[in-house]
Amino acid sequence: MENLDLLKQYHSRLIAIERHSSLTAETYCFEIRRFLEWMKAENLAAGNTAETLAGGKRQVEFDDISRYLDFRRRHDGIDSRSVAKAVSVLRSFFRFLVDERYREDSCAALLDLPRQGTRIPQALPRGEADKLLSLIDTGTPLGIRNKALYELIYTAGLRISEAVSLNITDLVIPENIAKVRGKGGKERIIIYSKSAASALKCYIEEVRPLLLKQKHSSALFVGKSGNRLSRKGIWKNYAALASLAGVSSRLHALRHAFATGLLEGGADLRSVQELLGHSDLRTTQIYTHVDAALLKTSHRKFLPKLKGLNRNEKN
């Protein structure tokens, strides 16, 4: 069995049996594809990696999976939450192998979920976010597209999946609003800045038709081939830009910058929850920890003066 055939079967199971969304199924398969590539790089698969997984002469065991997760921590720098997601995917995949009788046991079932504490979002300071956006080369068609894309993500607080799934008909540029589909297929209205609206107008009128090359597509953001821009493509372009600007390479940092900027400006938590598309207010409340960090900075800044006042009072 080829790897591609195995992944197609697994993808079908995720949709038909486990009832996951197509986006979740793609994310799961992307993680498993990484795992298969790692197996090949580690010479764990004698020939076909799918055969090794399914019970060849050298089966994949618990220790192999543990080493893969360690590799993801060291090489990709993923945090405990991302490790937990990878564990869930591997458990699901090996359960599929057992159910389809490719293996007799699921070694991934022994994996423990890592302990997760309160994760403070890593947000870009506004100055750094503005600097990053200013470095985009708008002298090229792809630069104009990227400017529109990242301005929209930053000023509307979009998830990368939401930006990818946007269609041209979702935008109402004169009113600076758009309709997006978030987690679980939930729709919401977002608001974006005038600078994002200007960048979008330029992209839609001048660049998008060139990239489409007479193709018909409902996608708002398209690549050089005229097809819908992929999440991988957006990550890759952002990573190169972040490296140039010397800031965080995590694209989600732009969404965090949006949220913390709202709170710093005095927005209430409920409004931020609606704009971010969080189903649970507790998810939004984590940004109050970021706000508390700003209070600590101010406290340290003015503490020497407070100490001086206390000494004068004692005298």
Residue 159 among the catalytic residues: yes
Residue 147 among the catalytic residues: no
**Side-by-side strand order, sheet with 177-181:** 171-172, 177-181, 187-191
Through-space distance between the first and last CA atoms of the chain, rounded to whole angstroms:
85
**187-191 and 177-181: which strand pairing?**
antiparallel
Assess contact for 180 and 165: CB atoms under 8 A: yes
Assess contact for 176 and 190: CB atoms under 8 A: no
Catalytic residue among 13, 103, 181, 278: 278
Residue 255 among the catalytic residues: yes
Catalytic residue among 10, 154, 238, 287: 287
Per-residue CA distances from 170 to 64, 83, 135 (Å): 45, 34, 28
Catalytic residue among 11, 20, 34, 252: 252
Residue 183 among the catalytic residues: yes
Q: Three-state SS across 45-112? A: CCCCHHHHHCCCCCCCCHHHHHHHHHHHHHHHCCCHHHHHHHHHHHHHHHHHHHHCCCCCCCHHHHCC
- Tell me the β-bridge partners of 179: 189
Catalytic residue among 11, 183, 228, 250: 183
Residue 287 among the catalytic residues: yes
Catalytic residue among 159, 208, 231, 256: 159
Residue 75 among the catalytic residues: no
Catalytic residue among 13, 72, 145, 255: 255
Give the catalytic positions in this structure: 159, 183, 252, 255, 278, 287
